């Protein structure tokens, strides 16, 4: 049998350093190349228009059923917005949380259930609070901070915090920082779900703002909670479908393969978390403020 040389501490440190640098570069590049016009208005608007059968921007949200349907459709249409691209980072940790389960269906449902619990808890609470506070919410305000809308200032703060949290989790997975979830993959997945639920707290997406105003106008906190939950569920449908295809299409073999090698699963999860955490930080806290004269950021010809 061939002798396998163990990986030394120096090699492990060097590999982690390269992974971190590469992930940071990927996150910065994504923030530079990202076209919000294409993603929000071309993809998002067209998907919503096709699903609703009318112009989403002018569609009436009259009644509970119409509001719930609009919530889910607008959430699905917003899957590719700058805030939701971070959803890709959840696949690795979810694989770790469900990889030891027996049976493909259990390997799928267990981590998805924990992820959804974290996401729903945050989005439901924010929906109810948003209705109770009403038009005083910064997200619904037309006020300005200098030349920057206050709703975008809220976005920068919220997504900056989410980006920092994701970056920290990625670095912690590599052992660079203390890992509060070491040996607790389920807790990690619940927290990632909560972070995705928190996207609604900062989202400036026009269709979401329209939904938010409709919920406030209803005066019903339960309606606000329900529509915000459906908005979040719509956001994760695509990633859920990818995860389901990987789990069920391979009869659970992919999840067992992914979680079977600790170094492999750690590297993939950490790279995604760091890259997408950096993307959120740079995009929302550097690029977006630069549009309003706060600092400078490179622009692409199509932006």
What is the mean pLDDT, run by run of 10 residues, along the chain of 303 residues? Answer: 47 81 96 87 83 81 86 83 63 65 66 89 97 93 92 95 94 93 86 92 90 94 96 85 78 70 78 92 96 92 77
User: Which pLDDT score is estimated for 3?
Assistant: 44
User: Which pLDDT score is estimated for 85?
Assistant: 60
User: Which pLDDT score is estimated for 98?
Assistant: 61
User: Which pLDDT score is estimated for 258?
Assistant: 67
User: Which pLDDT score is estimated for 104?
Assistant: 62
Please work out, in degrees rounded to the nearest 5, the angle formed at the alpha carbon of residue 19 by the alpha carbons of 295 and 290. Answer: 10
**pTM metric for this prediction:** 0.87
Closest CA to 91 of 301, 269, 253, 293: 269
Measured CA distances, 102 to 167, 208, 252, 254 (Å): 31, 39, 8, 13
Measured CA distances, 239 to 87, 115, 129, 189, 236 (Å): 7, 12, 27, 14, 5
Q: 148-149 and 144-145: which strand pairing?
A: antiparallel
Closest CA to 210 of 72, 37, 53, 71: 71
* CA dist., res. 150 & res. 109, Å (int): 39
Closest CA to 191 of 101, 274, 126, 117: 117
Packed helices 206-218 and 64-77: angle between N→C axes, nearest 10 degrees: 160
User: Which pLDDT score is estimated for 2?
Assistant: 41
CA atoms within a 13 Å half-sphere pointing along the CA-CB vector of 55 = 3
User: Which pLDDT score is estimated for 5?
Assistant: 45
* C-beta separation of 292 from 91 below 8 A: no
**CB-based contacts of 196: which residues, under 8 Å, 6+ apart?**
84, 86, 87, 90, 115, 118, 119, 232, 235, 236
Closest CA to 100 of 192, 195, 193, 183: 183
């Amino acid at each position: 049998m061939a002798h396998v040389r163990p990986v030394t501490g120096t090699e492990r440190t060097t590999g982690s350093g390269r992974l971190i640098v590469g992930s940071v570069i990927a996150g910065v590049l994504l923030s530079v190349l990202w076209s919000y016009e294409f993603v929000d208005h071309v993809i998002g608007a067209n998907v919503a228009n096709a699903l609703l059968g009318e112009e989403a921007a002018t569609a009436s949200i009259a009644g509970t059923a119409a509001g719930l349907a609009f919530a889910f459709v607008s959430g699905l249409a917003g899957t590719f917005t700058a805030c939701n691209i971070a959803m890709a980072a959840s696949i690795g940790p979810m694989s770790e949380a469900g990889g030891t389960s027996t049976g493909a269906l259990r390997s799928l449902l267990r981590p998805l259930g924990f992820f959804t619990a974290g996401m729903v808890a945050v989005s439901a609470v924010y929906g109810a609070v948003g209705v109770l506070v009403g038009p005083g919410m910064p997200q619904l305000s037309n006020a300005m901070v200098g030349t920057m809308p206050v709703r975008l200032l809220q976005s920068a703060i919220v997504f900056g915090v989410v980006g920092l949290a994701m970056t920290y989790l990625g670095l912690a997975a590599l052992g660079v920082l203390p890992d509060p979830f070491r040996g607790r993959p389920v807790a990690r997945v619940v927290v990632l779900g909560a972070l995705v639920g928190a996207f609604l707290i900062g989202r400036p997406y026009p269709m979401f703002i329209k939904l938010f105003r409709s919920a406030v106008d209803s005066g019903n906190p339960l309606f606000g909670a329900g529509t915000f939950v459906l908005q979040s569920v719509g956001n994760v449908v695509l990633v859920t479908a990818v995860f389901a295809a990987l789990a069920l299409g391979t009869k659970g073999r992919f999840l067992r393969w992914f979680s079977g090698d600790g170094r492999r699963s750690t590297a993939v999860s950490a790279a995604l978390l760091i890259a997408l955490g950096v993307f959120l930080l740079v995009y929302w806290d550097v690029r977006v403020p630069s549009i309003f004269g706060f600092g400078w950021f490179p622009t692409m010809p199509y932006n």
